[in-house]
Structure 1
Amino acid sequence: MLRKVKVEEAIGKPLFHDLTGIMADGFKGVVFKRGHIVEESDIEKLKNIGKENLFVGELDYGFVHEEDAIKEVADDLIGENICYKDPSEGKITFKANSDGIFVTNRKGLFELNNEGDYTFATIPSYTKVFSGDNLVGGRIVPLFTKREEVENIKRIGQRYRPIFEVKKFHKLRVGIIITGNEIYTARIDDLFEPVIREKLSFYDHEILGIEKCPDDMNYIKNVAKGYLERKADLIVFSGGMSVDPDDITPTIIKDMSDKLIIQGIPVQPGNMLTVGIKDKTYLVGVPGASIHSKFTSFDIFLPRFFAKLDLKKEDFTELGEGGLLAGRKC
C-alpha cells in the first residue's frame, strides 16, 4: 500500500518516484532517482528541494506507476526511425534516429490525449527533422494510473499504429522545366533556376536537366515526357501558373497526370500550386511567388516529395488554417 510519511520516517526505504529539484545555480532535473534508498544524510537535501513528506510503499493491485505506464505503451505508438530511452521524471521522449520528415496520425494523437491520464505533446506533423531531434514528449499526469487506462492506450496505438514515425528522405531524380516566351527568347533573365537549385540543395538529388521552354503546349509536354522516360521522380514546372491566356502549365500537368491531385491550395504565398502524379512521378507547378518569397506552399511540400509520401487532396486543403504565411516564422 502506498502511504505518505515524513522524510525522517522514510530512512531506509526506497523512493517511489524521481524527485526533481531546482537549484540556485540554474540546475533543474532529477536529484534522487526512483528506488533510491533514503539515507539520513539525504534529509537536508530533500528539505532543500521542498520535500517534507515522501511516498513510500507499493501500489495496490490494478494500478501502474507513471514510468511503467508510459514505457509500456511506447512500442505500440511508434513506427520506423524513432527511438527512446527509459523514462525520467515520469516522462518519455521519442527521438528521431534518422533524418527525414516527422509524421503524426492526428486522429490517433487526438484519441490518445482524449483518453484520460495520458498526455502526448509533439512537434508539428510534417516537420523536417534530423537524427537526434526530439519529436514527442509523453507522460501521465498523475503519479500512477489504472491498468485499464494503460490497456486503452495500447489499443488506440495498435488501431492507428504508427501514430508517430519518421519517413526518410530519398534521393530523387529531378527534371526542371522553366516556361515563358520571355525566358525562352532571353528577352528577360530567368530568376527561377537559382531559386530551385538552392531549395533542392538541402536534399540528395540528381538534376536531369533544366529546360527553358516557349509557351507551347506540345513543346513543354515533349520535354516532360523526356524526363519521364529517364525515370524522373519529380518534375518541377515554373512559369505559366496564373490565369492569363498564355498560362498553360496547369493544363499540361492535368493532361499528363494519371491523377490531378490539386490545382490551387489555401496557402499564401503560393496559392496556385498545382500537383499531379504520373505513375510514381510527381508533376509540380510552382507559383511565381517562389521567386520573391522565401517560404511558400512549394516549400511546405518539397520535404514530402522527397519522403515519397502518398499525397492526397486533403493534405493540401487542410492547410487553410495557418496558410497565411506572411509574417510567419518558418
Structure 2
Amino acid sequence: MKTIHVEHAVGTVLCQDITRIIPGECKGPAFRRGHVVTEADIPALLDIGKEHLYVYDPRDGYVHEDDAARRIATAAAGPGIEMTTPVEGKITLRAAIDGLVQIDTEALFRLNSVPDVIFGTIHTNQLARKGRGLAGTRVIPLVAREESVAEAERVLAEHPPLIQVLPLKPCRVGIVTTGSEIYKGRIKDKFGPVIREKFTGYGSTIVGQTLVSDSQEMTVNAIRDFLDQDADFIVVTGGMSVDPDDQTPASIRAAGAEVVTYGAPTFPGAMFMLAHIGDVPVVGLPGCVMYYKASIFDLIVPRLLAGVNVTRDDIIALGHGGYCENCAQCKYPACGFGKGA
C-alpha cells in the first residue's frame, strides 16, 4: 500500500472506500475499495477532495483481497461446490447439489495456519440442500503477500479437495422388522413408517418390508430374500439389545455379514450394528431410531448412501459430540450432536 497523487493513480487499486457526502442528500461510498482507478474517475475524485489516494500496486508482490480469496476458494473447492463473487473480500462456497458435505479437517487446520489466511466451514458429514452456504474464505489484510497465497495453494494441492458435496446414491432398501409381538399382531409396527420416510427423503426406494418373529432362522431368511431381490441396502429393526429374545446381531452375522462394529458411543443409538454382505450395507437399528428426530441413523446412513467407507474408527470418533441433549424442541442438525469428531 502506498500514497499516490490521484492524477498518477490510473490502473491502481483503491485500498479503502472513498466516501462522497452531499449535505442534506446522502452520504455513501463513491468508490469501493478494490476499485481499479480509470482516467474517467479522476475528475470525480478531485470533486470530492481526493488529491491523494491509498492504493495497492499489484506489481509490488502483494495480492488484493478479492483475488486472494478467489485463488484460495478455487483451490479448495471440489465436486458439488459453487462459489460467489467476492463481497468485502470474502467468498462464500455453497452446495451446488443436494448431498453429503465432506471436509478434510486436517487440511483445513493446515490452511488456517498459513499467515493471513482464514477459511471457516460448517461441520463435515452433514446433509446439505443445493444453495446452502458451507464455507467462507478471505485474507485478513486488504492486500496479502503473494507468498502467503501461494503457500495456501500448495497446502490445498496436497489435500484435494478441501471441501466437496457427494451426491447420495439412490438405493433399493429392504426392511426386516423383528419382534414376535409385531409378527403376531399384538402391537402395530411403528418402525417401518419412520424408515420409509427417511430413506424416501434420501431419494431411495423401499423394496419391501418383512415382519419376522424373534427367530434367528426367519431373520436370516428375510435378509437373504432381499439380497435375492437385488436390494443394495438392508435395514434390520429391533432386537438389538441384550435380552434373551433379542437375536438381531446374531442373525445378521448368521446371514453371512462381516461386522464393522456392534455398539456406538452415541446416545441415542448405542446398540447400533454396521455390517456388510459383499457390497451391501446391513444396519441393525435400535428402537430409539423410531422416536428420536436425530440418532445414529442420521449420522451414519447418509455417509453410506454417499459411498463413504465408514470404519470402526469413524464410529468410535462419534463419542465426542455423540451425546444428544434431548432438547424440548429438537434443533438437529443445527446443534452439536455427532459433530465433535
TM-score exceeds 0.5: yes
Q: Quick one: structure 1 residues 16 and 221, their matched pair in 2 at CA, closer, same or farther if it must change by over 3 Å?
A: same
Letter in 1 for 2:246: D
Q: Quick one: structure 1 residues 187 and 110, their matched pair in 2 at CA, closer, same or farther if it must change by over 3 Å?
A: same
Report the equivalent of 2:264: 265
Q: Quick one: structure 1 residues 29 and 227, their matched pair in 2 at CA, closer, same or farther if it must change by over 3 Å?
A: farther
Report the equivalent of 2:73: 74
* 1:65 Cα deviation from its structure 2 partner: 2.0
Q: Take 2:29 and 2:265, find their aligned partners in 1: how far apart are those partners?
A: 44
Q: Take 2:16 and 2:224, find their aligned partners in 1: how far apart are those partners?
A: 62
| Residue among 1, 13, 16 paired with 2:14 | 16
Question: Aligned with 1:115: secondary structure?
Answer: coil
Q: Take 2:53 and 2:81, find their aligned partners in 1: how far apart are those partners?
A: 35
Question: Aligned with 1:116: secondary structure?
Answer: coil
Report the equivalent of 2:196: 197
* 1:54 Cα deviation from its structure 2 partner: 5.1
RMSD: 2.8
Moved more, 66-75 or 128-137: 66-75
* 1:109 Cα deviation from its structure 2 partner: 0.9
Report the equivalent of 1:24: none
Q: Quick one: structure 1 residues 169 and 44, their matched pair in 2 at CA, closer, same or farther if it must change by over 3 Å?
A: farther
* 1:42 Cα deviation from its structure 2 partner: 6.1
| Aligned pairs (5 A) from 1:210-229 | 210-229=209-228
Report the equivalent of 1:35: 35
* 1:172 Cα deviation from its structure 2 partner: 0.7
Contact kept, 8 Å, 1:174 with 1:234, in 2: the verdict is yes
* 1:60 Cα deviation from its structure 2 partner: 5.4
Q: Percent identity?
A: 32
Letter in 2 for 1:236: V
Q: Take 1:29 and 1:312, find their aligned partners in 2: how far apart are those partners?
A: 54
| Aligned pairs (5 A) from 1:56-135 | 56-59=55-58, 61-135=60-134
Letter in 2 for 1:244: D
Q: Take 1:17 and 1:183, find their aligned partners in 2: how far apart are those partners?
A: 71
* 1:15 Cα deviation from its structure 2 partner: 4.1
What are the superposed Cα offsets for residues 251-279 of structure 1, whole Å, 9 maximum, x if unpaired? 22234455312211111111111111122
Contact kept, 8 Å, 2:262 with 2:272, in 1: the verdict is yes
Letter in 2 for 1:94: L
Q: Take 2:122 and 2:144, find their aligned partners in 1: how far apart are those partners?
A: 26
TM-score norm. by structure 2 comes to: 0.83
Letter in 2 for 1:191: K
Letter in 2 for 1:195: V
Letter in 1 for 2:266: V
* 1:102 Cα deviation from its structure 2 partner: 0.8
Report the equivalent of 1:289: 288
* 1:10 Cα deviation from its structure 2 partner: 4.4
Moved more, 320-329 or 236-245: 320-329
Report the equivalent of 1:238: 237
Instruction: Tell me the matched-pair count.
Output: 316
Contact kept, 8 Å, 2:13 with 2:57, in 1: the verdict is no
Q: Take 1:76 and 1:291, find their aligned partners in 2: how far apart are those partners?
A: 42
Contact kept, 8 Å, 2:14 with 2:32, in 1: the verdict is no
What are the superposed Cα offsets for residues 168-217 of structure 1, whole Å, 9 maximum, x if unpaired? 01211000000011111112221112211222231212211100001111
TM-score norm. by structure 1 comes to: 0.86
Contact kept, 8 Å, 2:16 with 2:54, in 1: the verdict is no
Q: Take 2:304 and 2:157, find their aligned partners in 1: how far apart are those partners?
A: 27
- 5+ residue gaps, structure 1, are 22-27, 48-52
Contact kept, 8 Å, 1:20 with 1:89, in 2: the verdict is no
Q: Quick one: structure 1 residues 10 and 242, their matched pair in 2 at CA, closer, same or farther if it must change by over 3 Å?
A: farther
Q: Take 1:150 and 1:301, find their aligned partners in 2: how far apart are those partners?
A: 36
Q: Take 1:236 and 1:189, find their aligned partners in 2: how far apart are those partners?
A: 18
Q: Take 1:263 and 1:285, find their aligned partners in 2: how far apart are those partners?
A: 9
